[in-house]
Amino acid sequence: MNKQVTETLNITFRKPRSTDGHPLNQLISRCPPLDTNSTYCNLLQCTHFADTSIAAVTQQDELVGFISGYIPPSRPDTLFVWQVAVDERCRGQNVAQRMLMALIDRCQSEQSLHYIETTITPGNTASEALFSRVYQQLSAPIEKTVLFSRKNHFADQHDDEVLWRGGPFTKQEELQ
């Protein structure tokens, strides 16, 4: 699975399924510096949070990308993006941005969504670039604040997690 593939894979997006839990666990382990979770946690992401997550698969239904997210109960107009993972073979094909925009579109059709949030560790340039592009595409202003600090929340064992909050924005069809 770690082979370098230069051709563009035919990738489609769909809601996660329970059978994606173990492949998701393997995908995340191949995508450092993402934090790995238990397979059980990944199974919950693929079932309990399937409506707010998205899977990228090849024609053979191989999981090559995944975004997990959820709607915080106190902020029903907000999608919190927990993790974005793209297999190394699929990088450089705009898979993460296409997945995120497809997920936003799906969530907007099901409810009134006006904000996208995520946390990014400073220096994670790939995530910073992805969310900057998406917020720009949505014409969404960005607020950045430390949500979990290295000192207060991680006992100096993990870098800060900076909350990126983009919005408000309007439905995608209104932007076009």
CA distance 116 to 96: 15
pLDDT digit string, tens, across residues 18-62:
999 999 999 999 998 888 999 999 999 999 999 999 999 999 999
* Confidence at residue 133, expressed as pLDDT on a 0 to 100 scale: 97
Q: 25: part of which helix (H) or strand (E)?
A: helix 21-29
Distances (CA, A) of 136 to 19, 97, 166, 173: 34, 12, 9, 15
* Confidence at residue 172, expressed as pLDDT on a 0 to 100 scale: 57
Q: Tell me how far apart the 2 most distant CA atoms of the chain are, in Å.
A: 46
Whether the pLDDT of residue 3 is over 50: the answer is: no
* Confidence at residue 18, expressed as pLDDT on a 0 to 100 scale: 96
Number of H helices, E strands in the chain: 6, 7
Which tokens in the block code for residue 99?
């997945």
pLDDT digit string, tens, across residues 157-168:
888 899 999 999
Domains in the chain (CATH in brackets) are: 12-175 (3.40.630.30)
Phi, psi for residue 57 in degrees, rounded to 5: -130, 155
pLDDT digit string, tens, across residues 80-124:
999 999 999 999 899 999 999 999 999 988 888 999 999 999 999
Cβ neighbours of residue 93 closer than 8 Å, sequence gap 6 or more? 8, 9, 11
Q: Which residue has the higher pLDDT, 176 or 24?
A: 24
CA distance 167 to 165: 7
78-86 and 115-120 strand pairing: parallel
pTM here? Answer: 0.89
pLDDT digit string, tens, across residues 5-21:
434 678 999 999 999 99
pLDDT digit string, tens, across residues 142-161:
999 998 998 889 888 888 89
Which tokens in the block code for residue 40?
């059980």
Alpha helices in 55-117 (DSSP H): 95-110
Which tokens in the block code for residue 18?
């329970």
* Confidence at residue 109, expressed as pLDDT on a 0 to 100 scale: 82
